[in-house]
């Protein structure tokens, strides 16, 4: 579970402007949802795990109630870590904006986050590997 949390929140912290340091927000949310479990990366996380994602998104004003603040998220990504093609990234990210909200805000947050992380992974420009061997 710790690996999953680290990955999710590293990605979330990269795309949000923190009102408090992300570590503090993450700690508050994980204390609130103590039954979060994600032991196998191939399996769907449990409900509390999804609620941690929702909690962090709300704390960063990326979400309000059951509504994703896509424009806020996209503004925070302007000039981000370096996109292979920024227009392509924005086009792909628009698909996330149109995800059907669930009656459960934790599900909505998780579906959006999953879509956005896939979009970021597809479009981020990775630094070249060093040709020097260790």
pLDDT tens for 82-126 read: 778 888 888 888 999 889 999 999 999 999 999 998 888 888 877
Contacts of 39 (CB under 8 A, 6+ apart): 1
Considering the domain boundaries, does residue 34 fall inside one?
yes
Closest CA to 85 of 128, 118, 124: 124
Report CA torsion sign: 91, 93, 97, 103: positive
Mean pLDDT confidence for 30-46? 72
How many structural domains compose the chain? 1
**Helix extents (H) in 16-133:** 22-32, 47-59, 70-77, 86-97, 105-123
Domain-located, residue 112 = yes
Is residue 131, in this structure, part of any structural domain at all? no
Residue 113 placed within a domain? yes
47: CATH:
1.10.238.20
Residue numbers of the domain that contains 6 = 2-123
Which phi and psi (to 5°) does residue 68 adopt? -80, 135
pTM over 0.85: no
- Of 28-37, 49-58, 97-106, the range with the lowest mean pLDDT is 28-37
Pick 6 or 128 by higher pLDDT. Answer: 128
Give 41's pLDDT tier (boundaries 50, 70, 90).
low
Task: Give the torsion sign (CA, 17, 71, 89, 46).
Answer: positive
Domain contains 134: no
| Residue 112: predicted pLDDT | 94
Residue 26 included in any domain: yes
Quick check: is 33 in a domain?
yes
Query: Is 86 inside a domain boundary?
Result: yes
């Amino acid at each position: 579970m710790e690996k999953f949390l680290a990955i999710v929140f590293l990605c979330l912290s990269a795309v949000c402007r923190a009102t408090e340091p992300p570590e503090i927000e993450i700690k508050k949310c994980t204390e609130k949802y103590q039954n979060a479990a994600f032991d196998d990366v191939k399996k769907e996380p449990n409900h509390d795990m999804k609620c941690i994602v929702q909690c962090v998104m709300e704390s960063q004003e990326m979400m309000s109630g059951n509504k994703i603040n896509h424009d806020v998220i996209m503004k925070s990504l302007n000039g981000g870590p370096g996109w292979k093609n920024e227009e392509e990234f924005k086009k792909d990210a628009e698909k996330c904006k149109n995800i059907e909200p669930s009656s459960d805000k934790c599900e909505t947050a998780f579906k959006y986050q999953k879509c956005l992380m896939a979009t970021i992974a597809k479009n981020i420009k990775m630094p070249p590997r060093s040709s020097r061997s260790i």
